[in-house]
Amino acid sequence: MNYDPVTSGLARVQSESHIPASTWRQWCDRLDIDPALAVELWDDVCHPMMLASGKAPDLALILQLRAARPEIYIDDFRDELPAVLLSTTLCDGLHEEGRGVVRGALLRLYRFLGVKTGEPVGQSFCVHAGNLALLEGVLPDDLTLPKLVKVLCAEKGSLEDLCRLGRRGLGEDDRGIAVAAALDAGLELLHPQPPPPPSETDADEVDDEDEVDDDEVEDDEVDDDEVDDDEAEDDEDEDDDDGDTPQAAEPGPQELYIRTLRDALTIVYADESIADPKERDARMQTIEGFNPLGSRIPTMEEAKRMSERVVIGGEGRQRALQGRGGGGGAPRATSAGGGRASVRPPSASGGGSTASVIRPTSASAKASPAGGAKPASDAAAESEAPSSDEPAPPAPDADGKLPVPMISRNELDEAVDKVATGINKVRELDERLYLLFCEPEHDLDSPQTLAEDLVTADSSAEQAGVALRLAAQQQRVRSILDLPPDRRLKDRRFDLEAEAWLNTIANYRRSFDTDSRQLISLPRVLDFAAGALVRIEALRAAVEIVRDAESAEEATVVAVSQCYETLLSDVTFLADSEVIAAARQRADTDAETVLAAVAADAWIDKVRAAAFDWVDTVTESGAIESLDALTAFLDETPLALDSPGEGEFPGAFPDELAADTALGEIVDATRTHVVRAAWKALLVEHHPRKTVDKLDSDLRRRLRGHARITPRRERHQRNPRVALPVASLERLSGNPELSHYFVRLSTDGKLLFLEDYEDGSYIDLYELQESTKRQMHARARERARDGATGELQTGSSYLLTVGRTKNPFASSEQDVLAACVVDDEGERVTFDPS
């Protein structure tokens, strides 16, 4: 039985989100992210938000944000997401039109800030978005927020430079003072000033105070306590009588910035005349409810408690969740199977359910299961205190062995519960591990994939492995059992027996006795749990040994075997010897496969990295600017890769990999030199053709700025009087099936990437089609309406705009089109040729 964890995860996400798994896959393809990342995002972020609010979150924006920073941990992404979402909602609420353009600019800003650090950028994004929104209101009309973002991302100026520019036009009135205060508070939050050093007078006073003797200190403490108690009683009396509140403390830098920003935005954007009073009030409410730095996303446990309150408190859940922020509801996901998949941007109203499920960290927002408010201290204690129902994760002892505790008679029920709970969690979390439990000799489809999942922190496989450890640790329960003879069939299938036993334990409501017939299958369950544990610990050890080894000689099957045997010696000693022996044989085979696969991947990565470093050296030296200089560089400093060692070499270099690509002599000479050198550094186990093809495609993309293509002139149906310089995608990818797709070129043969659009990686895509008579009349009517000139000739071919793609070097039509810009409905957006 083949098991795909991604498919299983998407199936679960489909049932929870009511969005087809195929739609999730298409979203991931368009955003170029691993579907496993989307499953993780749903589990840790989107699903809690949906449970807490009762509405579908803004999946489009959250997926795009995660795709922009896939390298950070999901916990860091959770931390920064509230500030990013609420800052985006604020900017949406300040714009009546062009919200899609503003949303794209903010996404570009988020990507730009994330490139510079691996830490959460929520606070930095909040300050940048808030200050830019404020600057847009005080600078001339042509300096819009997208243009200010473009200046930052192009590194033509910093936020400090833009704030300095904004201050020049400010007056000394209330408006100018409020704006300047907000800008300064934002910069102070980004770059806090160190506290001033203590003066000499203060230091002397501190020294004098330190010289007070101990007796005086004790007396003072007693007196102070008495005074404090009296003052506290007086304060309580005053509070009861007059209702006075104590004086508020000085606001921190975050609170100061949010407060000054709200005040400045209210003044700046209240001056604009908005005809609709409802829209004007909505804008002011958006500003007043802006508080991103005091919010967070609920955990799954909190979200479940909040969702349960709808039964107890009715509408109380919505009131507790919505807080001060407003906004319309996000579009609910469709649940049907067919239809076009689309990464749907948020609605024009902004906010949606994303803002409503982000919970402020104040005490009043910490909901209790009963439906009331819970004090902050109680909520913190609850989150810090370990649950008494869940046992601590099993870990090796000081000798590196997994302990097998002694079990007494009165601990029988607890031990049985641990075994059943562990096996049930394995079945729930990862079907691959459950298959190993049912059949310890099961042949894994991809041992390397499972091994990498087992060592990935907080992955479903890693959690399932912990649960299996817990079950296998209960081996000593055998010593207190006095079971009746087993009169069942000897050759029965264990998977069916295990299923029946788990159901029996789940439905049994009384305490177990040592001779309870319900426990007849327990010894066999323990045997198979130990056998499965041998398999998975061998996989885990193989990856860890490869990562920690200083040389290839240290990563051997023997080393792996010693590692997992030491860990499981107490477990395997008590389990059935035949089951353990069969599992050991398969475990060593798995370890050998994983070691070879990991070593091969590491070598491929090494070859690719060396090739890219060499290409960067060629580029930085300037030798790539002319063919003569490049030829001289190749003669003097060729790409030298290490030998792959012993093994079967792939044979002669394929001549088609060195064929002319029409990208120019410089690109062809560089890429041919690199792929030839890489071919010699690969063995058959490295999949040389697949590896070199991938390397070739990456080199074409890397060298795109130096491509010089002989342009082909084709006329566009929108303006047939002007012939555009274009090149076929066949010349970029080498795939003849893409010969009817074209991209724009400059007059000197360079690929015309749109530097002013998004991140500068997009290029217009066209398709060459023959103009039929019906098309000719349709285009004529269209030109008559637009007042355009030019004639289409029946039988001639003209360019038709297909979209704007960021992957023109893809080897298939599907990949090229999947990288195109899409609108709210998932349809490709077409742009008029300029």
Tokens representing residue 114 in the block: 């994330």
| Per-residue pLDDT at 778 | 58
SS (H, E, C) 215-241: HHHHHHHHHHHHHHHHHHHHHHHHHHH
Q: Is 664 left (phi over 0), alpha (psi -120 to 50) or beta?
A: left
Sorted by where each begins, the domain ranges of the chain are 18-193+255-332+347-360, 409-484+492-600, 622-706, 712-818
Interior angle at CA 441, CA 440 and CA 444, nearest 5:
100
**359-360 and 712-716: which strand pairing?**
unpaired
pLDDT tens digit string along 361-375? 433 333 333 333 333
Quote the radius of gyration of the chain (alpha carbons, Å).
33
790 torsion bin: left (phi>0), alpha (psi -120 to 50), beta (else): left
* pLDDT tens per residue across span 596-629: 887 787 888 888 888 888 888 888 888 888 888 8
How many other β-carbons are positioned within 10 Å of the β-carbon of residue 300? 14
**Size of the chain, expressed as the number of residues it contains:** 834
Given a cut of 50, is residue 662 above it in pLDDT? yes
Sign of CA dihedral 15, 18, 22, 27: negative
Give CA–CA dist 158/144, Å, rounded: 16
Beta bridge partners of 359: 296
| CA 686/CA 200 separation, integer angstroms | 69
Alpha carbons 721 and 715: distance in angstroms, whole number: 7
Conformation bin of residue 360: beta by default, left when phi > 0, alpha when psi is -120 to 50 = beta
**Predicted confidence (pLDDT) per residue in 463-494, tens digit:** 988 999 899 989 888 888 888 877 665 667 88
Residues 443, 397: contact at Cβ < 8 Å?
no
pLDDT category of residue 341 using cuts at 50, 70 and 90: very low
Residues 234-241: contacts with CB under 8 Å, at least 24 apart: none
d(CA 165, CA 152): 13
State pLDDT tens for residues 512-527.
888 888 888 889 899 9
Mean pLDDT along residues 337-344: 39
> How far is Cα 574 from Cα 474, in angstroms, rounded to an integer?
10
Q: Return the HEC string of 163-198.
A: HHHHHHCCCCCHHHHHHHHHHHHHHHHHCCCCCCCC
541-594 pLDDT, tens digit each: 888 887 776 666 667 788 888 888 888 888 888 888 888 888 888 888 888 888
> How far is C-alpha 232 from the chain's CA centre?
50
Distance from C-alpha of 155 to C-alpha of 110, rounded to nearest angstrom? 14
Written as one string, the DSSP assignment of 449-517 is HHHHHHTSTT-HHHHHHHHHHHHHGGGGGGGG--PPP--S-TT--HHHHHHHHHHHHHH--S---TT-G
107 vs 546: CA distance, rounded Å:
38
Question: In the beta sheet, which residues pair with residue 766?
Answer: 742, 801
Give the separation between CA 592 and CA 299, rounded to whole angstroms. Answer: 40
Q: Which two tokens stand for residue 324?
A: 């001060």
| 325 touches 356 (CB < 8 A) | yes
The three-class DSSP label of residue 444 is coil
How far, rounded to the nearest angstrom, does the alpha carbon of residue 216 sit from its chain's CA centroid? Answer: 59
Indicate the helix (H) or strand (E) that contains 65: helix 59-68
Q: Per the structure block, which two tokens stand in for 297?
A: 């996303």
Q: How far apart are CA 602 and CA 551, in angstroms?
A: 12
The percent of residues in the chain predicted with pLDDT above 90, rounded, is: 2
Distance CA 792, CA 775 (A): 9
Q: Which amino acid is at 317?
A: R
Q: What is the Cα–Cα distance from 466 to 462, expressed in whole angstroms?
A: 6
d(C-alpha 301, C-alpha 576), whole Å? 40
Which three-class secondary structure state does DSSP give residue 728? Answer: strand
> What is the phi/psi pair of residue 295, to 5°?
-130, 160
b/e 167-178 (16+ beta carbons within 10 angstroms → b): eeeeeeeebbeb
pLDDT digits (tens, 9 = 90+) for 441-451: 888 888 878 88
pLDDT band at 422 (very low <50, low <70, confident <90, very high): very high
User: Of the ranges 288-302, 713-727, 776-790, which one carries the lowest mean pLDDT score?
Assistant: 776-790
What SS3 class is residue 206?
Answer: helix
Lowest mean pLDDT segment, chosen from 39-48, 590-599, 653-662 = 653-662
Segment 744-787, tens digit of pLDDT: 888 777 788 887 788 778 888 888 887 665 555 555 566 555 55
pLDDT at position 116 is 73
Name the average pLDDT for the chain: 75
Q: Is 682 left (phi over 0), alpha (psi -120 to 50) or beta?
A: beta
CA–CA separation, 405 vs 474, rounded Å? 7
Give percent of the chain above pLDDT 70. 75
- Whether the predicted pLDDT of 272 surpasses 50: yes
Tokens linked to 751:
């690929």
Whether 423 has a pLDDT exceeding 80, the answer reads yes
Q: Which residues have CB under 8 Å from 740's CB, separation 6+?
A: 728, 767, 768, 769
Query: 541, 507 in Cβ contact below 8 A?
Result: no
Q: How far is CA 721 from CA 591, 716, 718, 724, 791, in A?
A: 67, 8, 9, 10, 8
CA distance linking residue 662 with residue 613, whole number of Å = 24
Which of 364, 361, 289, 358 is closest to 83 using CA atoms? 358
> What pLDDT sits at residue 344?
39
Residue 233: both structure tokens together: 């009683």
| List of residues 6+ apart from 801 with CB closer than 8 A | 716, 718, 764, 765, 766, 830, 831, 832, 833
Q: Spell out a b/e string for 244-273, using b for 16 or more CB atoms within 10 Å of the CB, else e.
A: eeeeeeeeeebebbbebbbbbbebbbeeee
Which residue would you say has higher pLDDT here, 588 or 394? 588
Tell me which amino acid residue 78 is: R
Tokens linked to 376: 């902050």
Measured CA to CA, the distance from residue 206 to residue 823 in angstroms comes to 66
- Percent helix, strand and coil across the chain, each to the nearest 5: 60, 5, 35
Question: For 80-88, what is the mean pLDDT?
Answer: 88
**C-alpha torsion angle, residues 107, 110, 114, 119 (rounded to 10):** -130
Q: Answer whether residue 147 shows pLDDT above 80.
A: yes
pLDDT for position 354: 44
Q: Are 750 and 725 in contact (CB under 8 A)?
A: no
Separation between Cα atoms, residue 207 and residue 221, nearest integer Å: 19
Could you tell me the CA-to-CA distances from 817 to 694, 807, 822 in Å, in that order?
19, 8, 10
Alpha-helical (H) ranges within 622-687 are 627-636, 665-680
- Looking at residue 70, the DSSP 8-state letter turns out to be T
DSSP character for 374?
-
Pick left, alpha or beta for residue 271 (phi over 0 → left; psi -120 to 50 → alpha; otherwise beta): alpha
Q: pLDDT value at position 231?
A: 45
DSSP annotation string for 127-142: HHHHHHHHHHHHS-TT
